[in-house]
Amino acid sequence: MSTFSTDRIDTSESLLIIILEALEAHGVKSEEYQLYDEIDVEALERVILSSSTSIKISFTVCDLRLAIKMENSEIYIEKIGCKDS
């Protein structure tokens, strides 16, 4: 699991970079996908940062299932499996 401080999440570009880094860390190469065809990073950021409670949102990119969760003012990104699992 990768942990990122919410201080780093101040623009959608920051969240975008964090998601790209997580995908790369799990072996998904950038030439394999167009992220904006898979998820709306700006909407994801708004939902996560506006939540007053713990929240977890999962999504799939190139058959890799990831989850972004906000808990105790920290944002976590974790691999939760593959598309068919």
Strands 64-71, 74-82: parallel, antiparallel or unpaired by DSSP? antiparallel
Helix crossing, 41-50 with 12-25: angle to 10°?
110
pLDDT in tens, the chain (85 residues): 444 444 444 444 577 888 888 888 888 899 999 998 889 988 988 888 788 888 889 999 988 888 888 877 677 788 887 765 5
In this prediction, residue 3 carries a pLDDT of 47
In this prediction, residue 8 carries a pLDDT of 46
Provide the phi-psi class of 47: left if phi over 0, else alpha when psi is between -120 and 50, else beta: alpha
Give the C-alpha separation, 83 to 85, whole Å.
6
Which residues have a Cβ under 8 Å from the Cβ of 26 and sit 6 or more positions away? Answer: 64, 66, 79
In this prediction, residue 84 carries a pLDDT of 58
In this prediction, residue 32 carries a pLDDT of 92
